[in-house]
Chain A
């Protein structure tokens, strides 16, 4: 007997199983593992984290922490300066690697290495190169000038620039690769026609290459911004946030609070980044799911 709440609905709804085709039932079964992972390791942690960060006192404490303000500014520098430099170099290099030369093909195979190998040994290698006493960079400076080189990682501005450099070193190959794909998709006869008309390389870039790559370039820049916000390694492994916690970005700051057992502050610092992240995420989702 079906129990109906309203009087005029006398017929019970058919059971769910008869409304779904066997294929759809299988579809639900096959989708279930991902849904479980998503619920257990994305929805629950995010909700729990937001709940932990709910008290306004967290945000008051955060805004009074000078390290937070510094980390927010550093993150902005990373995003605005670092990413634009990286993407412009990637755009330039995509033109270089699109040239048909055997040696350039071989160089492109080597060029991918920073992206393929793990961060930790290579970033630590950079860190040692710039060690003021034993690093190879200051050895070279000493043998060339007879003076001691600077203590590279001791000046926050220099250390942050170097962290941006490390970030560029690591992720440049990936973006260059994507932009090469974009460049190779441009019809070749456009360039041939421009060649016949005697266009300069700048005119070819300005009127053919850039218009066809503009959308891809902007999407890559935005996606790179989101991923860079999550880049913990470049800063942590090079400077550890130092000297005096002045080179933290939001990604390392959150983990720093976490290590100090201040989970609600850690979550609050991430929540503060959300007004910047969510519009980016929304835009990317719209663009990708088109």
Chain B
């Protein structure tokens, strides 16, 4: 038995710790190497980046300066592309929240006839592989005359984000006690008042999780953005990054710098809302 205040040295503990480190160190390297490599390029002058060094001789922020001052042919539209990404991501977040909250409220609280069917339809969409839906979706957007218009990407991402959002919000709604709605009806509240004054405040944590999920999904999306938008001033940052590759001598250090800047907001948003996201999203992904 261990006495308080007396630390006991035991070879067994050391062996356990060593075994854990034997797993932990490779896991750390595996996770960080591609990200570190991207960061390394961002702070390296061109010569160092291509020399295979693990740390540049003269680390510099010059690449960031080039990006922020748009001093390269590929970066002419950096700010407008960053802005496009932001507007699209925020629009997808707002629209998804609106559509999914309304649907979850209707299905779970109002027990609308056919609600179960709609939920199953939504689940079905959730399970269509994204790249498979992209093919007919591209042509559909053309038929609607939306190609090269931000609305095509916004609507496509809302279509992809909504099913999961409805599913998660419906699960969360079901956990709210029915008595709350009944009490509000007794007090003479209309359906919309219940929605606004009772339902929304109680659902706040799930709404934060779903809003963040939709924003990140749209911000990080590459395939749909690359199919649906093509004009240099309409495209989002990931598409611009993909276009770097078209050149024979791509400025990789600038590509990685821009990529690093592009990856920062989602990482920051993720860590800011981590507590909401992990609980809300993993619970919805697989009912355990």
> Inside 8 A of B282's CB, which chain A residues have their CB?
177-178, 181
> Inside 8 A of B222's CB, which chain A residues have their CB?
118-120, 232-233, 237
Evaluate whether A118 and B262 lie within 8 angstroms (CB atoms) in the complex, with A27-B110, A255-B134 already known: yes
Q: Which secondary structure dominates where chain A touches chain B? A: helix
Q: Are B103 and A33 in contact (CB under 8 A)?
A: yes
The stretch from A65-73, A188-196, A216-224 touching chain B is: A216-224
- Cα distance A174–B220 when bound, in Å? 16
> Inside 8 A of B138's CB, which chain A residues have their CB?
258
Evaluate whether A41 and B35 lie within 8 angstroms (CB atoms) in the complex, with A31-B107, A118-B262, A120-B241 already known: no
Q: Quick check: is B1 within 8 A (CB to CB) of the other chain?
A: no
Give the contacting residue for A37; candidates B155, B191, B278, B288; CB below 8 A.
B155
Q: Which of B16-71 contact A (CB under 8 A)?
A: 20, 23-24, 27-28, 30-35, 37-38, 41, 50-52, 54
Q: Quick check: is A60 within 8 A (CB to CB) of the other chain?
A: no
Q: Are A281 and B132 in contact (CB under 8 A)?
A: no
Q: Which of B136-179 contact A (CB under 8 A)?
A: 136-140, 143-144, 155-156, 158-159, 162, 166-167
The proximity string for A residues 22-64 relative to B, scoring 1 for CB distances below 8 Å and 0 otherwise, is: 1110111011011101101110111011001000000000000
Q: In angstroms, how far is the closest chain A Cβ from the Cβ of B125? A: 5
Q: Quick check: is A207 within 8 A (CB to CB) of the other chain?
A: no
> Considering residues B20, B34, B98, B223, which has the most beta carbons from chain A within 10 angstroms of its beta carbon?
B34
Give the contacting residue for B52; candidates A103, A134, A233; CB below 8 A.
A134
Q: In angstroms, how far is the closest chain B Cβ from the Cβ of A101? A: 7
> Inside 8 A of A226's CB, which chain B residues have their CB?
127, 129
Q: Quick check: is A77 within 8 A (CB to CB) of the other chain?
A: no
- Chain A's closest residue to B166 (CB) is A34
- Chain A: interface residue total (CB-CB under 8 A): 95
Q: Quick check: is B100 within 8 A (CB to CB) of the other chain?
A: yes
Q: Are B286 and A120 in contact (CB under 8 A)?
A: no
Give the contacting residue for A129; candidates B34, B119, B127, B131; CB below 8 A.
B34
Q: Are A41 and B32 in contact (CB under 8 A)?
A: no
**Would you give 22 A-B contacts (Cβ < 8 Å), ordered by A?**
A22-B191, A28-B112, A34-B103, A37-B162, A48-B136, A49-B139, A93-B27, A107-B28, A113-B32, A116-B270, A118-B219, A123-B34, A124-B241, A124-B255, A136-B37, A139-B52, A174-B285, A181-B283, A227-B130, A231-B129, A255-B131, A285-B123
Closest 3 CB pairs of A and B: A121-B259, A139-B52, A230-B129
